[in-house]
């Protein structure tokens, strides 16, 4: 049964992840635009032919399309890229219905700062979604308690040995990040290949700081069965088994904010390494990479031995929710980049208009959209 379920469900995690994250993003734009009184022409999930659509009392056309690899919200009067044919393909009965009066004003009637807020609404919604998901995981699945992470062994000839790391050292912080569990150390080290990292250690009752530059190594991820380049310093860590603590709602908010901030920091680090040439473009995951990851995570949980079907689903839900939060952060962050077709590009235009007091010519907008 598990094998059949895994085969049938293979595309589902990918479809659900993409659809949820993009819908959250577009809803962010939608609600901010609505708050400022902008008329919304359509809100679509996916591309291509519509499989469901309806109009609400404000005249907005809501669509679910057959290809669930994106989505968009279109405000009345909003410019589109010349190649954008999202609204012109596959006319449906709703298209031929009597004209419906849209409630609100054209997007272009909004001031530059309001349009800036609309542009930032999508990424903000992605970050809030991640905070909520991480908080929910902390309440429902619990979080490991802070433990003592010690160096169990140091590989002879390693960069850690050369820097003075010794067996028995307790790692208090790595790269400026306080250490709670061994995975914290691994995360900082893996993302810092070729760059010096300061490790704050506790040795025989006194604090010692050492600087180690992790070596880049290509390893097979035993969980995902994928090769990846990571940083290694040559130590074996040891930490006591930790209990899980289930957070209350207030603690969950703080945990969600901290986890989202950590993920954003890791994303910034990857981008910085890409810009400086220390990482290859293969470090970024497109739709195919996300599908592969979701598929492998599903297989990993559903093919476990001596674990009940419902326990597998429970563990799979945790992993997919965590992946959804991380994907949402990635979508929010990269949409903030100052590229014309992204929210960051629109934000730059709004700021330029607000700073100069002059409206950006439509021709400039169209050139930017065409280039993007």
Looking at the annotation, which residues are catalytic?
26
Strand, coil or helix: what is 204? coil
Q: Are 61 and 82 in contact (CB under 8 A)?
A: no
Strand, coil or helix: what is 256? helix
Q: Are 131 and 51 in contact (CB under 8 A)?
A: no
- Residue 92 CA neighbour count, 13 Å, CB half: 16
Q: How many CB atoms lie within 10 A of CB 334?
A: 17
Distances (CA, A) of 331 to 72, 268, 340, 345, 349: 14, 13, 16, 15, 20
Q: What tokens were used for 3?
A: 């094998």
Chain Cα centroid distance, residue 177: 20
What is the rounded (10 degree) CA torsion for 36, 37, 39, 42? 50
C-alpha closest to that of 120 among 350, 361, 356, 365: 350
Strand, coil or helix: what is 231? strand
Which residues, in sequence order, are bridge partners of residue 75? 40
Which value, in Å, is the radius of gyration of the alpha carbons in the chain?
24
C-alpha closest to that of 63 among 96, 37, 91: 91
Which residues, in sequence order, are bridge partners of residue 210? 199
Which helix (H) or strand (E) segment is 64 a member of?
A: strand 61-75
Chain Cα centroid distance, residue 282: 17
Q: What tokens were used for 280?
A: 């290859």
């Amino acid at each position: 049964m598990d094998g059949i379920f895994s085969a049938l469900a293979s595309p589902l995690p990918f479809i659900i992840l993409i659809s949820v994250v993009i819908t959250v993003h577009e809803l962010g734009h939608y609600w901010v635009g609505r708050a400022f009184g902008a008329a919304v022409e359509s809100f679509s999930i996916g591309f291509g032919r519509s499989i469901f659509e309806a109009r609400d009392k404000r005249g907005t056309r809501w669509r679910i399309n057959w290809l669930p690899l994106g989505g968009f919200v279109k405000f009345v009067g909003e410019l589109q890229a010349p190649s954008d044919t999202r609204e012109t393909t596959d006319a449906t009965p709703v298209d031929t219905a009597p004209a419906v009066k849209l409630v609100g004003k054209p997007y272009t009637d909004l001031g530059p700062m309001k349009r800036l807020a609309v542009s930032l609404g999508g990424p903000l919604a992605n970050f809030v979604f991640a905070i909520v998901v991480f908080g929910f995981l902390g309440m429902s699945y619990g979080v490991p308690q802070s433990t003592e992470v010690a160096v169990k062994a140091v590989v002879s000839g390693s960069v850690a040995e050369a820097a003075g790391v010794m067996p028995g050292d307790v790692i208090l912080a790595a790269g400026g990040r306080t250490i709670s569990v061994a995975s914290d150390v691994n995360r900082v080290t893996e993302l810092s290949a070729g760059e010096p990292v300061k490790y704050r250690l506790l040795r025989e009752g006194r604090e010692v700081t050492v600087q180690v530059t992790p070596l880049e190594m290509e390893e097979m991820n035993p969980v995902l069965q994928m090769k990846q380049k990571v940083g290694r310093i040559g130590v074996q860590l040891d930490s006591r088994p930790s209990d899980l603590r289930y957070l209350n709602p207030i603690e969950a908010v703080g945990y969600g904010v901290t986890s989202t901030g950590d993920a954003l920091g890791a994303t910034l680090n990857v981008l910085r390494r890409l810009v400086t040439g220390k990482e290859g473009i293969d470090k970024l995951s497109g739709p195919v990479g996300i599908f592969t990851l979701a598929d492998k995570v599903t297989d990993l949980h559903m093919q476990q031995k001596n674990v009940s079907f419902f326990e597998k689903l429970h563990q799979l839900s945790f992993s997919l929710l965590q992946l959804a939060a991380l994907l949402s952060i990635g979508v929010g962050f990269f949409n903030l980049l100052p590229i014309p077709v992204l929210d960051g590009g629109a934000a730059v235009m709004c700021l330029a208009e607000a700073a100069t007091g002059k409206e950006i010519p439509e021709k400039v907008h169209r050139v930017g959209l065409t280039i993007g």
